[in-house]
A and B are shown apart, each in its own frame.
Chain A
Amino acid sequence: AQSVTQPDIHITVSEGASLELRCNYSYGATPYLFWYVQSPGQGLQLLLKYFSGDTLVQGIKGFEAEFKRSQSSFNLRKPSVHWSDAAEYFCAVGPSGGSYIPTFGRGTSLIVHP
């Protein structure tokens, strides 16, 4: 069965600094990979996804992620963080074929200092 590990429960950065959120997955084949963001009291919003092709994926709000098969990782990055980026970030992995049932990581809480 697939699994997702987000090793950092909390990440604190200063506004304007760069950001990298870690995600490692376990899956027997080529996975679908996702990053979602959840603001307080809101549902999850898709930032970006990887299915195949270019391993560097661009998403909304200036985020990008890179799929590294050799490291089983799909880390999320942003070059300059804004205070409005403070939220919970979830990495998810899904099957590469057939029905799509994602497995979510436990999330990383991003705190942005002014």
Chain B
Amino acid sequence: EAGVVQSPRYKIIEKKQPVAFWCNPISGHNTLYWYRQNLGQGPELLIRYENEEAVDDSQLPKDRFSAERLKGVDSTLKIQPAELGDSAVYLCASSLGLAGETQYFGPGTRLLVL
């Protein structure tokens, strides 16, 4: 069974440019999470989807970040425009959606903003 797939794995852009990350969760997983992991830190939740509905986006900087999960399967996270402080690893995870259910993480997208 395929795990959580993310692309691209690495991205280097100049500040003020847009960037997008894609995530395909494990088949059948209703809940999808986007995390940001800064260097030397643990992951921090940006947004959580239950099917196609964003149920927790309180930590998403909405002035420049947006996300969508139109058909309740794969998801895209966008930053526009990117800032130097956005350099981080962006992790996607999925789970069946039950309380306390195990999250399965993708390998992440490492973003460097110059």
Bound together: yes
The contact of A45 among B41, B45, B99, B105, by CB within 8 Å, is B105
Q: Which of B79-99 contact A (CB under 8 A)?
A: 91, 93, 95, 98-99
Using a Cβ–Cβ cut-off of 8 Å, how many residues does chain A contribute to the interface with B?
27
Do A100 and B100 touch across chains, with their CB atoms under 8 A apart? yes
| Stretch of A62-70, A79-87, A91-99 that contacts chain B | A91-99
Known contacts A49-B102, A98-B99, A100-B100; A42 and B42 CB within 8 A of each other = no
CB <8 Å contact, B42 and A101: no
Q: Main SS of chain A's interface residues?
A: loop
- The answer to whether A90 and B42 touch across the interface, beta carbons within 8 angstroms, is yes
Task: State whether A43 and B42 are in contact (beta carbons under 8 Å apart), knowing that A99-B56, A101-B56 are contacts in the complex.
Answer: no
Q: Is the pair B43, A104 in contact by a Cβ cutoff of 8 Å?
A: yes
Name 13 extra pairs, CB < 8 A, besides A95-B99, A101-B48: A42-B107, A43-B93, A43-B105, A43-B106, A44-B43, A44-B105, A46-B102, A49-B102, A51-B100, A101-B45, A106-B42, A107-B40, A107-B41
Which residues of chain A have a CB within 8 Å of any CB of chain B? 4, 9, 32, 36, 41-46, 49, 51, 90, 92, 94-102, 104-107
